[in-house]
Structure 1
């Protein structure tokens, strides 16, 4: 399998060096290798295959560390196998069915996801914060047959079969082998689709389906591993929700590398720092608002932390610089979306040179900056960001997917995101991207958090409105904030409305929920 990855990746010697450095080219006993090949034959490119292959190669290595303790890969695979049998027998789950998983970050999520994909069913990952009419609409629209939901979540109105006790259903399925290899679920006739939801900050979340292939994933994975120095067996703390593309991407990487995944059901900056130290974690995955909250804690020595990956929303340049000043040049900034997957990555060197950059696309991915006439923009020219690659979702037209973002490249080829196309504010005929105003205001003394958006204006069509969270004990002046924007950016980019609020509403991946801010405007 590793040899096939090298062949597909097209890296040649570079791929061999990368895989050797990460520890993936270590010798594999023939019996374990045979079980890995059999797992791939059964489950194709799915979470089930990742868990089963890791269990074959590293059965006694820790797979998951959560508040309940830890599970080895063999134990995780056995639980997934038993749960799959229970789902098939008791809930009639199999190919052609859609199963929704609504579970926080702990062993229950990874067990449920592996069990569903063992059966060839389509897998829908639900935001645990969804509720009410929006949740009912998603369940109806996606044709969900069975809902797996954590028992401590708010009640969900769902008329179909539901599962809240994974242990009970797994016990009904029975553990058929210590490592789950003596399974009763049988080969899936096909790999089920994986459906992720968009963030839903501007409406009801939409499903973005994927069918993953080894050919499509090999080059991006090898490129990521060549850029981000992860090591096999090194613990990774994944702070964002696993139901989101960012968390799921790095969980998949952890499976391939045989890395223990450290999970916390709820984000707490102090708890994250404690876990990083206690588990001697080599990597942390977080969204920018999480990094900002970590910076609000007293810094502590984390000598084993070599990699911090930020993604999910825009990384403020000031946060990038401050984090590296506190914890070293370990920060990588990933750009992508639920629909587009991974599009580009900035290294610590990139961020030192240009803290606002999202870097360059990985091998196997394409990023195009397209102007209004459809032509590719030269350096400095702002245009629509289109991407292509093995991680883009089903339905990308002509191989390129519009991300909905506007961006540009500098003369060295580094990519910058200027803002969302639909967030661009046209005020008195002038185009303003809220992100640059937010970044400037976030650097001002006394500002803890900020969001900027356009609101209707009878005279100018739209005007800028800023919602500012003061730091504790601070009282920034609205006039001073306006003067700071006017002096550094321009008069037409200065918010006319500045409202001080207790908090900026954000979803679980750190994006501003502008729906909740609009009523204040």
Structure 2
């Protein structure tokens, strides 16, 4: 990435502002020693602004950067000295959004251990499978997950015991001698099967940070409410950005639309990181802060049709939508201007990111034609994990581009559109049919709150579409009305054969619909 571009962007966002020379030197030396790991970013922020509030936790209140670092160091000493956590050991973290999860992630990083971020929605059998596949030595978890955590075939500590360890332990120990900072392993969403562990890379420098803050205009000292789950790639990325920007992070254990809007006002939040389904709940609840944040950044799943415009009509033109994946990190970012132009766009690739739309033979397709989306950037994942020492798979392509598994196209202006998952495409009577345009159309019906469309077997056509609709309270539709509506706007083969009215759609914690569970409804 161009050095001049990096310097200019860092300056625009306040990261090159003058400061105490000694503290600036400590900050730079810390990054040189620890790199852009969580431990390195926290230590660098503490060196520059030790008394700035790092986290506002709904239960523990405000915590400064120095207090946060000292607690993480104490936890690292305790886990290393009493639980055998060392470089290469894997520690599972099953926690909601609170400061204890950050302390645990940083402690693992200080010890050189790998933190495995566990989805809080896992069942006991799923957690058992994850613990075995990832070869967890230890599981740290919230009290509420004790019954599920009991199934994990490893040692377990709940948050009460963790807090006691921190209180009882002095901040000295071997963590300061570790030469290998720990890595973070994020579990994939598991919408099509068992979740896999994806090893996150350590940013190699300022490039990845600059790519994001050039397009999403975060500044030093923001007050950021992170509602996206921290165990998810997007919530984790929000935490990384927050530490790099020496921001104040506001955390709530559970998302509630009214409480979220209230927290924005009470804490003066200037940015909100969320997933699209949270925006939908905010709009439905009519929850709008008196002073909306200037940045609302979302990722994790597709924005339902029309949601971007409805949200910005009440919260202001503050919405940024990042399209990416656990494996690819990011591919493109849609700004408020992009979303006003077309709410369905995924935007453009940020600086330093490449996008290619390829046909099945690996050749580029013309603008406007659908192909598989490939991405290249500095933060592609390092491979899936099932146990220590598993090497990453070879690259998708010789040019370092990674296949996302999504189908999409670029328009004449270079805007990216995601048309659906490659494995979601339905071949009906010889026609390629994509569920997403049908979902977008159905969500425009005033009676429909949510819609999901999938392919089902059909004896005559091979496959046909089936629609699953959640209606607003008090509303009514019948299957014939739905099919006639789709037939009016789309081709015959896009009309759902089956229309199911369901009370809710099965979703992951980040709002993705789980197709295999739809088929069981």
TM-score range, shorter chain: over 0.9
Given the two structures, how large is their TM-score scaled by the length of structure 1? 0.93
Counterpart pick for 1:393 among 347, 366, 381: 381
Task: State the 1:514 CA deviation.
Answer: 1.5
Change (3 A) 1:515 1:86: same
Task: State the 1:258 CA deviation.
Answer: 0.7
Deviations 1:137-177 (A, max 9, x none): 1111112111111121133222322221221121342245x
Counterpart pick for 1:26 among 8, 13, 17: 17
Task: State the 1:197 CA deviation.
Answer: 0.8
Q: Which residue of 2 is the match for residue 467 of structure 1?
A: 468
Q: Is the 8 A contact 2:35 2:41 kept in 1?
A: no
Q: Which residue of 1 is the match for residue 119 of structure 2?
A: 127
Q: Is the 8 A contact 2:37 2:203 kept in 1?
A: no
Q: Which residue of 2 is the match for residue 5 of structure 1?
A: none
Alignment root-mean-square deviation, CA: 1.6
Given the two structures, how large is their TM-score scaled by the length of structure 2? 0.93
Q: Which residue of 1 is the match for residue 175 of structure 2?
A: 185
Q: Which residue of 1 is the match for residue 170 of structure 2?
A: 174
Q: Is residue 245 from structure 1 mapped to residue 233 from structure 2 by the alignment?
A: yes
Q: Where in structure 2 are the equivalents of 1:25-424 lying within 5 Å?
A: 25-68=16-59, 69-153=61-145, 154-156=147-149, 157-164=151-158, 165-175=161-171, 184-215=174-205, 218-394=206-382, 395=393, 396-397=395-396, 398=398, 399-424=400-425
Task: State the 1:369 CA deviation.
Answer: 0.5
SS of the residue corresponding to residue 460 of structure 2 reads coil
Q: Is the 8 A contact 2:203 2:379 kept in 1?
A: no
Deviations 1:74-104 (A, max 9, x none): 1110110000000000111111211111111
How many Å separate the matches in 2 of 1:303 and 1:267?
Answer: 19
Q: Is the 8 A contact 1:42 1:187 kept in 2?
A: no
Q: Is the 8 A contact 1:467 1:498 kept in 2?
A: yes
How many Å separate the matches in 1 of 2:363 and 2:28?
Answer: 45
Q: Is the 8 A contact 2:305 2:441 kept in 1?
A: no
How many Å separate the matches in 2 of 1:73 and 1:53?
Answer: 10
How many Å separate the matches in 1 of 2:289 and 2:71?
Answer: 36
Q: Which residue of 1 is the match for residue 385 of structure 2?
A: none
Task: State the 1:249 CA deviation.
Answer: 0.8
How many Å separate the matches in 2 of 1:422 and 1:282?
Answer: 39
How many Å separate the matches in 1 of 2:435 and 2:23?
Answer: 53
Task: State the 1:21 CA deviation.
Answer: 2.8
Task: State the 1:250 CA deviation.
Answer: 1.2
Task: State the 1:31 CA deviation.
Answer: 2.4
How many Å separate the matches in 1 of 2:62 and 2:428?
Answer: 54
Deviates most, 297-306 or 101-110: 297-306
Task: State the 1:38 CA deviation.
Answer: 4.1
Aligned residues: 503
Task: State the 1:211 CA deviation.
Answer: 2.9
How many Å separate the matches in 2 of 1:219 and 1:382?
Answer: 30
Q: Is the 8 A contact 1:235 1:261 kept in 2?
A: yes
Q: Is the 8 A contact 2:54 2:68 kept in 1?
A: yes
Q: Is the 8 A contact 1:43 1:117 kept in 2?
A: no
Q: Which residue of 2 is the match for residue 4 of structure 1?
A: none
Q: Is the 8 A contact 2:275 2:511 kept in 1?
A: yes
How many Å separate the matches in 2 of 1:305 and 1:171?
Answer: 36
Deviations 1:326-371 (A, max 9, x none): 1111111100000110111011111111110111111121111101
Q: Name stretches of at least 5 consecutive residues in structure 1 with no aligned partner.
A: 1-8, 177-182
Q: Which residue of 2 is the match for residue 3 of structure 1?
A: none
How many Å separate the matches in 2 of 1:131 and 1:43?
Answer: 36
Q: Which residue of 2 is the match for residue 457 of structure 1?
A: 458
Deviations 1:33-60 (A, max 9, x none): 3432443344333111111111111111
How many Å separate the matches in 2 of 1:453 and 1:87?
Answer: 46
Q: Name stretches of at least 5 consecutive residues in structure 2 with no aligned partner.
A: 383-392
Deviates most, 474-483 or 76-85: 474-483
